[in-house]
Amino acid sequence: MGATRRRFLSAAGLTGLGAGALAGRGGPATAAAPVVPFYGPHQAGIATPAQEHLQFAAFDVTAGSKAGLRDLLRAWSTASAAMSVGAAPAGDTGEAVGLAPAQLTVTFGFGAGLFTARFGLAGHRPAPLAELPAFPGDALQAGLSGGDLGVQVCANDPQVAFHAMHELMRLARGAARPRWLLAGFGRTGTSTRQPLPRNLLGFQDGTANIMVEHTSVVEQFVWAQAPASPPWMRGGSYLVARRIQVSLGAWDDAGTAAQQRAVGRHKLTGTQLAPLPADAHIRLASPALNDGQRLLRRGYSYTGGADAATGDPVTGLLFLCYQADPRRQFTPIQRRIAGADGLSPFVTPIGSALFACPPGARRGGYVGEGLLR
């Protein structure tokens, strides 16, 4: 299909509606522009108000050379830029025809497996991309963890998000193979302009999060910095992805009072409990106990299937967090809460991955150009 989605809209006589009217179909989260620019100093999808829907995939690269990797990132970047304005890549699969761009963002990350002799990148692994340690309570599955490349797709329309992932998988054929894939919904709040959402535990999520409008906080805690990060990563960020299964039946059985003690907040209002239990999740994860460190949490809930043993729905949180350096942000915080906070009896990390997300691409360029050129 060579036609752009926009051309399709005009053929259908819809152009008179204007972009703003079309944007309204995308969902309530962002009343702002329907298009999030792909090109810019930072990749879209990090300091972007979190959209309603997620598709996340990790890929293993099968291409055997740096040139093959470069071609993939170039094709992915070009297609992502097109899809983010509602245009269709060549050979498009078609399921987003007629749909608005829905604030689509695509964010690419590089896993440790890229920094090997195969791609001539052995000496280039950034120090903050150090392997995560094992944490108490981890029950990690190899097939749900790791990956040479991480791709986060977000949009306010689930079909637009799936279409983008579908296209990226199609373009990757012969160069990279999907290792794990997960759909998510019910974002963590990351914007002062969004109402706070609730996660599947029934609590508001994002109350004490970094808000993307607070640019000096984002600057300090989210973007990679010198000297820890090399020049090709400046303006980028490190993404920790943790697939955390929630035992929903046990959580329901615990009752509201115990749930509130586990989190440290009132379920309905989100206000902090007084006094705050010593092992409350928000206490052990707080900057006060973690050397002032913070994370940009940008996770999504997932569901799928029924647990054969309990009959409970299989649910969880794809916990995604962006930061300048996981060695002083995610890792110490996770060390403090793992097996120790009030949530621990109810949650089991079953997947884990870490990616270095390069800065944004310049128009006509591609993500990772600073490393791969």
Contacts of 288 (CB under 8 A, 6+ apart): none
d(CA 340, CA 182): 27
* Contact status, residue 346 vs residue 239, Cβ threshold 8 Å: no
Integer distance in angstroms from the first to the last C-alpha of the chain? 31
140 CB-side CA count, 13 A: 14
* Contact status, residue 104 vs residue 164, Cβ threshold 8 Å: yes
In the shown chain, the binding pattern of residues 204 to 223 toward ligand HEM, with x for contact by CB under 6 A and - for none, equals xxxxxx--------------
Instruction: Count each helix (H run) and each strand (E run) in the chain, helices first.
Output: 9, 9
User: How many residues lie near ligand HEM (CB under 6 A)?
Assistant: 28
Which amino acid is it at 336?
R
Q: Which two tokens stand for residue 309?
A: 């043993």
290 CB-side CA count, 13 A: 22
Contacts of 74 (CB under 8 A, 6+ apart): 366
Give the residue, chosen from 54, 244, 353, 356, that forms a contact with ligand HEM under the rule CB under 6 A: 244
| Candidate ranges 35-43, 103-111, 281-289, 350-358; the one touching ligand HEM (CB under 6 A) | 281-289
| Residue 172 binds ligand HEM (CB under 6 A) | no
Residue nearest to ligand HEM (CB): 208
Nearer to ligand HEM (CB atom), residue 83 or residue 212: 212
| Residue 259 binds ligand HEM (CB under 6 A) | no
Nearer to ligand HEM (CB atom), residue 149 or residue 296: 296
In the shown chain, the binding pattern of residues 314 to 353 toward ligand HEM, with x for contact by CB under 6 A and - for none, equals ---x-x----------x--xx--x-----x---x------
Nearer to ligand HEM (CB atom), residue 77 or residue 260: 260
Q: Least separation, in Å, of the C-beta of 344 and ligand HEM?
A: 9
Distance of CA 162 to the CA centre of its chain: 14
Q: Which two tokens stand for residue 151?
A: 């791709």
Q: Least separation, in Å, of the C-beta of 207 and ligand HEM?
A: 4
| Residue 295 binds ligand HEM (CB under 6 A) | yes
| Residue 281 binds ligand HEM (CB under 6 A) | yes
2 DSSP 8-state letter? -
Nearer to ligand HEM (CB atom), residue 43 or residue 329: 329
Residues 34-93 that bind ligand HEM (CB under 6 A): none
Nearer to ligand HEM (CB atom), residue 80 or residue 334: 334
Q: Which two tokens stand for residue 69?
A: 């990797």
Give the residue, chosen from 286, 315, 323, 352, that forms a contact with ligand HEM under the rule CB under 6 A: 286
Q: Least separation, in Å, of the C-beta of 188 and ligand HEM?
A: 7
| Residue 199 binds ligand HEM (CB under 6 A) | yes
Q: Three-class SS of residue 179? A: strand
Residues β-bridged to residue 362: none
| Residue 282 binds ligand HEM (CB under 6 A) | yes
Contacts of 364 (CB under 8 A, 6+ apart): none
**Which residues make up the interface to ligand HEM (CB under 6 A)?**
199, 201, 203-209, 242, 244, 246, 263, 265, 281-282, 285-287, 295, 317, 319, 330, 333-334, 337, 343, 347
